[in-house]
Chains A and B, each alone.
Chain A
């Protein structure tokens, strides 16, 4: 008898969790492919997924949505938060179950994969001023000459330096003419008394690739040509070996790097503009400057940086009117500029980024300069695999597990393998 009671209870518990599971799904289910959904006011619903977590980001999103809802009568937009860690899984599952929003805001470098998986629909006919957008971010929203969305925000990394540490050492600040050799010497000279010359994020995820890859490009390689950038490996291994580039980097995320910079443990860091609001809030007295990343040598052009930021993609469905309308609203320069001021990134339009808010700010304007020589990751539907292969290479070099030549050879082989699997 007792056994039966227990088994009955187990069954009930199981049923309950299943129901709860279904209930949860129903709750997050959105307009999806069912475009006939209307709100109470008789307007058509436009559901947007995003992974924005901070209050500033949430307010930004709400402001855009409120503005859009007031600007017209036909549609009513709303947004659903999906945690970043689960984002791509939820999109993949959504494609299988058909429970998808109308618009998706996602990391620029993963858009190509989802275009390939047929998540997004062609919006080339929308009334959007395509030619005003920065080329790099725009490319990441396209495939085979068709547009599947628009860039939402754009940014890149540049070189932060702690003015106090430089002043104390009686050294000149780095600037746009700083070469790798100068940079290495600076970092070496500043590495003393618990301070390390330089640090960046080289953790074993795409976050690490995002920061490390620019060194490879600046050295003359690219994501498919690792051997061409072996000099980057040489520099990394030398600097980590002599202590002027923190070895801890292989475990650091971008926030870890910034925390160490703010705490005065690093004289220079590679990081992005989204760190600025945090620095202003937590360390208002920090005396720092920003400049473009060091260039290879005196004759070479400004260093390459890697583009970060989000794209907005329109989910493929019969009626994409709502999604298109929302993108057309965001396409307005003033809407974009207002949103990006709140967000701590840059508008992906050449002209919009020339707003005095950025160009008059001595720090922000350096990022605008750096953006001009920034390139997107990929774009490739196999980017996650490329990223994995590349970052393994950087980690092997920084931990001195392999010599630069051997690492270049092995990483090239790994990258070639991914390239061969691309279709």
Chain B
């Protein structure tokens, strides 16, 4: 920080320039275009003829939210359920594994590596695997439950509205655990061993160590995991597209899959853009919250 002050703000801007240009071209431009598109009436009839394209204000947004059974409202609700349920389990399982693998034992680094496989696997592949596993006929999950006598008849996992949501959440939890685990392990390694030693000398038990030392010390890491997790879960598309395509009858429709369907199934490009912008707005708020959080911490440090 000291160096920056001596060089003056101009040089600072110079350093930021390449990133700014990159952001403007590859992030700013498409985003602005998308905003403009969402205020127009571009659909299958006006796509080719620019003279028919007109600005319609918030008409697309209004239509998306109109009616008691608006699909977008359902999609936002589904996305929230999907996100919260995924993060809840991802975080706790990830945290447990992080605590386990931060201990040095034989093979700990090997198993830590193996856990990463679900994160390294392309999401579409993972989606396909889960689709097969949740298949109502011949799926391994039904077979397992049947042989354990938990169920009498095969469950139609991806066909029943409630079960389909559970299935995609389970798949997403499996994919997200390593991400949570790795970020938390990195956080754990920053805690100096001396602190644990002194707490032990003070007679702290395991629980006290966990809640008084470990968790407060890695609070920044926990906050990052939760906010980043929220962002990347909220915009999940490929997994759900592969497993259910938002079905049955919109039971697993997320904002992302709905925006895709509007644009590429029904050719309602402006409405699709509007739905994508709703998704963006929600994440934008989360993003601001995250940046503010990081800045506050910087000030503390």
Contacts and interface: CB of A to CB of B under 8 A. Distances in A.
Interface of A: 88-89, 92, 95, 113, 116-118, 204-205, 250-251, 381-382, 384-385, 388, 392, 395, 422-423
A82 to B, nearest CB: 13
Contacts of A385: 266
Contact of A388 (B159, B245, B266, B267): B266
B49 interface: yes
Contact of B265 (A88, A117, A251): A88
Contacts of B265: 88, 384
Given A118-B47, A382-B44, A423-B45, A204 B266 contact: no
A395 B249 contact: yes
B139 interface: no
- Grouping DSSP codes into helix (H, G, I), strand (E, B) and loop, the A interface class, with mixed when no group exceeds half, is helix
B45 A88 contact: no
B46 to A, nearest CB: 8
A117 B249 contact: no
A205 B266 CA distance: 12
18 contacts: A88-B264, A89-B264, A92-B263, A92-B264, A95-B47, A113-B44, A116-B45, A116-B48, A117-B44, A118-B48, A118-B49, A204-B249, A250-B248, A251-B159, A382-B44, A385-B266, A422-B45, A423-B45
Nearest to B158: A251
B247 interface: yes
B210 to A, nearest CB: 28
Contact of B247 (A116, A204, A384): A204
B291 to A, nearest CB: 17
A24 B45 CA distance: 30
Contacts of A384: 265-267
Nearest to A116: B44
Interface in B225-246: 245
Interface in B252-280: 263-267
Secondary structure type dominating chain B contacts: loop
Contacts of A381: 44-45, 267
Contacts of B159: 251
Contacts of B156: 251
Given A92-B263, A204-B248, A381-B44, 19 more contacts: A88-B264, A89-B264, A92-B264, A113-B267, A116-B44, A116-B45, A116-B48, A117-B44, A117-B267, A118-B47, A205-B245, A250-B248, A251-B248, A381-B45, A381-B267, A382-B44, A384-B265, A422-B45, A423-B45
Contacts of B47: 95, 116-118
A335 to B, nearest CB: 32
Contacts of B248: 204, 250-251
A205 B244 CA distance: 12
Nearest to B46: A423
A392 B264 contact: no
Interface string B25-44: 00000000000000000001
A-B interface, 4 closest residue pairs, ranked by CB to CB distance from nearest:
A118-B48, A89-B264, A423-B45, A117-B47
A392 B249 contact: yes
B54 to A, nearest CB: 13
Contacts of B267: 92, 113, 117, 381, 384
Nearest to B159: A251
A413 to B, nearest CB: 11
A116 B42 CA distance: 12
A89 B264 CA distance: 5
A382 B268 CA distance: 10
Contacts of B249: 204, 392, 395
Nearest to B47: A117
A117 B267 CA distance: 9
A340 B278 CA distance: 47
A288 B99 CA distance: 63
Which of B48, B159, B266, B267 has the largest number of chain A CB atoms within 10 A?
B267
B19 to A, nearest CB: 10
B5 to A, nearest CB: 20
Interface in B46-70: 47-49
B271 to A, nearest CB: 11
Contacts of A92: 263-264, 267
Contacts of B266: 384-385, 388
